[in-house]
A and B are shown apart, each in its own frame.
Chain A
Amino acid sequence: MQTDIKISVQTEDFSQAEEVALLEQSNHSDGAVVTFCGRVRNRNLGENIQGLFLEHYPGMTEKSLSKIIEQAKSKWQINRVTVIHRVGQLSVGEQIVFVGVTSPHRHDAFAANEFIMDFLKVNAPFWKKELSDNGEKWLDARSSDQDKAKQWQ
Chain B
Amino acid sequence: MIKVVFFAALREKLACSELSIESDNISTVEQVKQHLIMQQPDWQAHIHNNALLSAVNNEMVPANHPVKSGDEVAFFPPVTGG
Contact = CB atoms under 8 A, between A and B. Distances in A.
Contact of A127 (B51, B55, B60, B77): B77
Interface stretch (A18-26, A52-60, A74-82, A101-109): A52-60
A117 interface: yes
Contacts of B60: 64, 123
A127 B76 contact: yes
Contacts of B8: 55, 127, 129, 138
A62 B77 CA distance: 18
Nearest to A62: B58
A60 B82 CA distance: 16
B16 interface: no
A38 interface: yes
A56 B58 CA distance: 12
A123 B79 contact: yes
A117 B82 contact: yes
A57 B5 CA distance: 9
Main secondary structure of the interface of A (DSSP, over half): mixed
A111 B52 CA distance: 30
A125 to B, nearest CB: 5
B7 interface: yes
A3 B33 CA distance: 41
Contacts of A123: 60, 79
A60 B75 CA distance: 12
Contact of B74 (A38, A55, A57, A140): A57
B79 A124 contact: yes
B82 to A, nearest CB: 4
A127 B58 contact: no
A124 to B, nearest CB: 5
A141 B58 contact: no
A125 B7 CA distance: 9
A99 to B, nearest CB: 9
Nearest to B8: A127
Task: Name the 5 nearest CB pairs between A and B, nearest first.
Answer: A126-B81, A141-B78, A127-B8, A60-B58, A138-B9
Given A55-B8, A138-B8, 6 more contacts: A38-B82, A121-B81, A125-B7, A127-B8, A138-B77, A139-B80
